Structure 1
Amino acid sequence: MLKNILLQLFDFYQYLIFIYCLVLFGIYLMLILSSRAAISKYKRESLTVDKDILLRSYLSPGISVIAPAYNEGVTIISNVRSLLTLSYPRFEVIIVNDGSKDDTLNKLIAEFKLIKTDYACQQELSTFPVRGYYKSVDRAYQKLLVIDKENGKTKADAVNAGLNAARFPYFLNTDVDCILDSDTLLELIQPFITSHKRVIAVGATLKMANSCEFDAGMLVRAKPPKKLLPRFQEIEYIRSFVTGKMGWSYLNAVPNVSGGLGLFDREVALKAGGYDRHSFGEDMEIIIRMSQYMLDNKLEYIIKYIPVTLCWTEGPESLKILTRQRVRWARGLLQIIAQYRKILFRPKYKKLGMLVLPYSFLFELLAAFIEVGGIFIYIFLIYTDRIDWPFAIILLLFVYFFSIALTTLSLVWNQIIFKQYKWHEVLYLCFTALWEPIIYHPLVLFASLKGYLFQLTGRQHSWGNMQRKGFVQKPATSKT
């Protein structure tokens, strides 16, 4: 009797999974088409903006570049120099030393001739105590401000400290371990200037810096990562940004702007309460928070992504650090869904309540549980000799090849747009994509489930250290 009931439930579950997969594949196809439309629209609009005028004019909107740093002594100097050389007429660089235990602060003081100074700013957002503000005695570094504060346990607390000290109406949230393109600010500010609605955030494509060549904080040669884990991450990032984020941008339903690179409206961010310093997914949480503020006040807004690679970040090369990163991301997603559950499926919140959060809940949060549930069901069906092997194999191959096709399309499309790699390197990435569902995806799935478990049980999260290795420097050429 019980066995029959279970079999009926499993049959019903299989039908639900089939419908679930069809809807998900439909969404992916919609995002592919939307991404193509968004990229074409961006190319048309970019022709109407004269970057030289923006670059020369001191009437260009001011931007505060905020980069938290925790134990970043290995790369801090080259990365700060990279930020200081951004091509833009009005900007400042705010480095927030978030209680580093290594020589990060001492290196900054020595390299940039910093002295502790009185710095007047309104503490609009609550943060862990600030121990001091540092400015340079050298006019060459007058754009640099270093904030030394007690460790706040999260990046959000450090960014809030930077927001309190920021002088300009827009702020760029980035990671100090990232290398930015020199035109980053010029590219990201354009949607704020040209849009007919208020733009509250703009993001752009990130890629892996592992194996790329840099010289004095500037990208010299983009290369796919040599090591397997970063190479999987490169594939994941390209698929996510080129297909996913651009597709959502066209629909004005961007779920998050990456914490590695995002330009925001400071006024809206402050009125929304700044970053939630208790959040594990601050990059998604701030977008939802700002969107909710705009909708609650009946204000129209836009969140955009642009199809330009502006940021290179060092991806985890060890399984331990990658798992810790993905556990935190999973905890952040579950935390956000729980925190904003009252917005889910509420027409009052328009696309935020009817598309952005429902997609995150149904096809990101629940996906891990559904996938694991499907595995147990197939094990049960095999055990009871009820499995339809031809159908099961066809379904498995369909899912596998659909995934490979989506990834390959993203990789080829990315190369056509950016032309940053050589074609044999793109083929190398496509070959790696064949193994992603078999090797990399199970690792991410395991980390996600672990993160959900830790969040549900209230386990304390250990943030740990990324253990940067630094970037590959271009070999010096000898002069004869």
Structure 2
Amino acid sequence: MNWLETAFDFFIYGFLFYSILLILVYGWIGFYAKGAIKSYIRKNSFTDYSIIATSPNAPTFSLIAPAYNEGATIVENVRSLLSLYYNQLEIIIVNDGSKDDSLQRLIEAYDLIKIDYFVEGNIETKPINAIYKSTNPVFKKLIIVDKVNGGKSDALNVGINIATNDYIVCIDVDCILEQDAILKLAKPFMDEAKAKVIACGGVIRLANNCTIVDGKIVDVNLPKTRLGRAQALEYIRAFLLGRMAWSRANGLMLISGAFGAFDRETVLQCGGYDHDTVGEDM
């Protein structure tokens, strides 16, 4: 009977120790994140984003969005990306061997034609079928790549090879970005003078119950279901607490696969995204 009592006591005290440790860690994260958020707000109060948006010396970005069987929404999603408020930007949509009419919808909507294109990167990927650009100068930022299906990591690697700008922004094609999202993403790369910033992530939120018009969020609301609200709370905890704190401590290990920017030269040296994992944003 004594060994049962000993095991029970060990479990109780172990659980108590774990709980205290967890509370202390989250207390530190909350305290550290509060300082990071204050610093972010203070720095932003001195920033004129209109200068960054139009400056020829601002960082250049290539936005890469993999797409697979997104025919129902892909035209509207691409239109939303084309409306982003940033001058030094190219948008690369990688059609990862879709079996629906995604590519045909894009060709018709954006007046696309096949072009010859020099691929700069050397990451090994599945073959590219064709590369398209628009005959309409309004869509000059847009590049469409059609390739053999290889998964999200492979599609992102194709986009990295094709990108020509200093930094790459990797997103999910069904994400809706705020129009100044790239401006906010550019600032951390410009702020740091003594060290090289290799990656920067944005805050992700749920679009449940939000009002979306022409690819833009015009009204933000909480999800109606309890599960949706719990998920919204988890997103706030993860981004405004966890990632802000670990970023301030220079210990951030994860950039969200839904919206993150990376130094392209560093990504090429690392060999791009790993094909053998579903957590390609780690």
Q: Report TM bin, short chain.
A: over 0.9
Task: For residue 256 of structure 1, report the CA deviation from its aligned partner.
Answer: 0.7
Task: For residue 4 of structure 1, report the CA deviation from its aligned partner.
Answer: 4.3
Task: For residue 9 of structure 1, report the CA deviation from its aligned partner.
Answer: 2.9
> Any idea what SS the aligned residue of 1:36 has?
helix
Structure 2 Cα separation of the partners of residues 147 and 227 of structure 1:
38
Structure 1 Cα separation of the partners of residues 116 and 228 of structure 2:
42
Are 1:50 and 2:53 an aligned pair? Answer: no
Structure 2 Cα separation of the partners of residues 187 and 244 of structure 1:
19
Are 1:234 and 2:232 an aligned pair? Answer: yes
> Any idea what SS the aligned residue of 1:20 has?
helix
The match for 1:158 among 127, 137, 155 is 155
Structure 2 Cα separation of the partners of residues 33 and 26 of structure 1:
10
Task: For residue 47 of structure 1, report the CA deviation from its aligned partner.
Answer: 3.0
The match for 2:215 among 214, 217, 229 is 217
Equivalent residues in 2 for 1:16-165, closer than 5 Å: 16-153=14-151, 155-165=152-162
Q: Find the counterpart in structure 2 of residue 208 from structure 1.
A: 206
> Any idea what SS the aligned residue of 1:82 has?
helix
Q: Is the alpha carbon distance of 1:117 and 1:255 closer, same or farther for their aligned partners in structure 2, counting shifts above 3 Å?
A: same
Structure 2 Cα separation of the partners of residues 71 and 224 of structure 1:
29
Deviations for 1:74-111, whole angstroms, at most 9, x for unmatched residues? 22111111111111111000001111112211111111
Structure 2 Cα separation of the partners of residues 50 and 100 of structure 1:
41
Q: Counterpart amino acid of 2:162?
A: A
Stretches of structure 2 lacking an aligned partner (at least 5 in a row)? none
> Any idea what SS the aligned residue of 1:198 has?
coil
Q: Find the counterpart in structure 1 of residue 182 from structure 2.
A: 185
Deviations for 1:278-298, whole angstroms, at most 9, x for unmatched residues? 1111111xxxxxxxxxxxxxx
Task: For residue 128 of structure 1, report the CA deviation from its aligned partner.
Answer: 1.5
Q: Is the alpha carbon distance of 1:156 and 1:88 closer, same or farther for their aligned partners in structure 2, counting shifts above 3 Å?
A: same
Structure 2 Cα separation of the partners of residues 89 and 20 of structure 1:
50
Percent identity of paired positions between Structure 1 and Structure 2? 44
| Larger relative contact order, structure 1 or 2 (CA cutoff 8 Å, min sep 6) | 2
> Any idea what SS the aligned residue of 1:179 has?
coil
Structure 2 Cα separation of the partners of residues 210 and 134 of structure 1:
33
Q: Find the counterpart in structure 2 of residue 314 from structure 1.
A: none
Deviations for 1:352-395, whole angstroms, at most 9, x for unmatched residues? xxxxxxxxxxxxxxxxxxxxxxxxxxxxxxxxxxxxxxxxxxxx
Q: Is the alpha carbon distance of 1:226 and 1:168 closer, same or farther for their aligned partners in structure 2, counting shifts above 3 Å?
A: same
Q: Find the counterpart in structure 1 of residue 258 from structure 2.
A: 260
Q: Find the counterpart in structure 2 of residue 339 from structure 1.
A: none
Deviations for 1:28-70, whole angstroms, at most 9, x for unmatched residues? 0001011110011112222333212112212211100001111
Structure 2 Cα separation of the partners of residues 261 and 191 of structure 1:
15
Q: Counterpart amino acid of 1:185?
A: I
> Any idea what SS the aligned residue of 1:34 has?
helix
> Any idea what SS the aligned residue of 1:180 has?
coil
Structure 2 Cα separation of the partners of residues 73 and 228 of structure 1:
31
Q: How many residues align?
A: 281
Q: Counterpart amino acid of 1:56?
A: T
Q: Counterpart amino acid of 2:144?
A: V
Stretches of structure 1 lacking an aligned partner (at least 5 in a row)? 285-480
Q: Find the counterpart in structure 1 of residue 169 from structure 2.
A: 172
Per the normalisation by structure 1, the TM-score is 0.57
Q: Counterpart amino acid of 1:31?
A: I
Q: How big is the alpha-carbon RMSD for the aligned residues of Structure 1 and Structure 2?
A: 1.5
Q: Find the counterpart in structure 2 of residue 194 from structure 1.
A: 191
Structure 1 Cα separation of the partners of residues 126 and 29 of structure 2:
41
> Any idea what SS the aligned residue of 1:145 has?
strand
Structure 2 Cα separation of the partners of residues 18 and 130 of structure 1:
56
Moved over 6 A (4+): none
Tell me, yes or no, if the aligned pair for 2:69 and 2:100 is still in contact at 8 Å: yes
Q: Counterpart amino acid of 1:217?
A: G
Q: Find the counterpart in structure 2 of residue 250 from structure 1.
A: 248
Per the normalisation by structure 2, the TM-score is 0.95
> Any idea what SS the aligned residue of 2:281 has?
helix
Structure 2 Cα separation of the partners of residues 116 and 250 of structure 1:
45
> Any idea what SS the aligned residue of 2:203 has?
strand
Structure 1 Cα separation of the partners of residues 137 and 207 of structure 2:
31
Tell me, yes or no, if the aligned pair for 2:114 and 2:131 is still in contact at 8 Å: yes
Deviations for 1:219-248, whole angstroms, at most 9, x for unmatched residues? 111111224433332121112111111121
Structure 1 Cα separation of the partners of residues 200 and 177 of structure 2:
15
Equivalent residues in 2 for 1:251-400, closer than 5 Å: 251-284=249-282
Higher percent of residues as helix: 1
Structure 2 Cα separation of the partners of residues 242 and 69 of structure 1:
29
Task: For residue 13 of structure 1, report the CA deviation from its aligned partner.
Answer: 3.0
